Amino acid sequence: MAVLGRGEGHGGLTILHALGAGYGSAIGIDLSTRVQLRDSPVKKAPEDEHGLLPAVEAAWTAAGFPLPEADELHWAVRSDLPIGRGLKSSAALAVAAIRALAEATESKLENHQIVDIAAAAQLACECSLTGSVDDAWAAVEPGWKVVDPTVPAAQGVLMEGQLEDSDDWAVLIIDRGPRELTPDPERFQFAAAQFQRAIAAIEQEQIFPAMVQNGRAVATAMGDSLGRNLSNDLGILGGRACGINGSGPAIFCILLAEQESSINRIKRTLEPRGWDILQTKIWTSEA
């Protein structure tokens, strides 16, 4: 059994939800999905409910790139990201798989090409309504971008930057379990005025306020009053930016890493609810 190629893609936090705002924006976190592309079966088949990995292979060849010269192709996947929580696990998997294909075939791709192939694959297998272009950018390189998902990735970056003092922040992810509701585009349009507040904040490069406003808009669109109330409570407990991530149900809380007492207080407060809490940080370097 030979490993033909390896790849990695990062999870992320939502700044703007493309379904509601029209523009998407996300920033990577230090949780990732890692894949190996092999020429023989693996012991544990990857969890791929939507068929994203075959969709990546199809999008890869549709973009004009060759598949590896092997009789069979098999995927091995390891991930820090819970699936179906809004933590960009699909974009991370797509990006990781594309990088593995690139290594296996000695193909040279720019990041915008990786993003385009990832978006095409996610649309094809219907695990995303927008292609999750912003999520793919967050999976492929550090920093935040505001993107127009309706144009090719190379042309769609409207704003970009790095989160100030990124290394100073801790990120808590509250995993409330698998998603039970599918996002409804009409409900997201109903919350358009709230999403506009998030857009106004990011136009001023006020990233944390944009994340908070976006989270509140998503709570409205998803009918998740518990998520909104919990996000507000986390703010009271010391969070600088808290909200529903992606389409939920996971909730993020960003606070200063040096505030260990606040971090521990949040963990103790949520412990009786039985939710998993992941602690990570903003992804700042590809090294």
7-16, 85-94, 118-127, 185-194: which has the minimum mean pLDDT? 185-194
Say what the pLDDT of residue 36 is: 97
CB 134 within 8 A of CB 18: yes
Average pLDDT (189-202) is 94
Residue ranges in 23-182 assigned as alpha helix (H) = 52-62, 89-105, 111-124, 133-140, 153-156
What's the CATH code, domain 166-281? 3.30.70.890
pLDDT, one tens digit per residue, over 19-33 is: 999 999 999 999 999
| pLDDT(240) > 90 | yes
| pLDDT(119) > 60 | yes
Average pLDDT (245-255) is 95
Q: How confident is the model at residue 131 (pLDDT cuts 50, 70, 90)?
A: confident
| pLDDT(47) > 60 | yes
State pTM to two decimals: 0.95
Count CA atoms within 13 Å of residue 234 on its CB side.
28
Residue ranges in 192-247 assigned as alpha helix (H) = 192-203, 207-222, 225-236
Q: Which CATH architecture has domain 3-161?
A: 2-Layer Sandwich (3.30)
Say what the pLDDT of residue 266 is: 96
Q: What percent of the chain lies above the pLDDT cut of 70? A: 99
Average pLDDT (99-125) is 97
What residue spans define the domains of the chain?
3-161, 166-281
Residue ranges in 3-132 assigned as alpha helix (H) = 18-21, 52-62, 89-105, 111-124
pLDDT, one tens digit per residue, over 82-110 is: 998 999 999 999 999 999 999 999 999 99
Say what the pLDDT of residue 287 is: 56
Identify the residue with better confidence: 148 or 70.
Answer: 148
| Distance from C-alpha of 278 to C-alpha of 149, rounded to nearest angstrom | 29
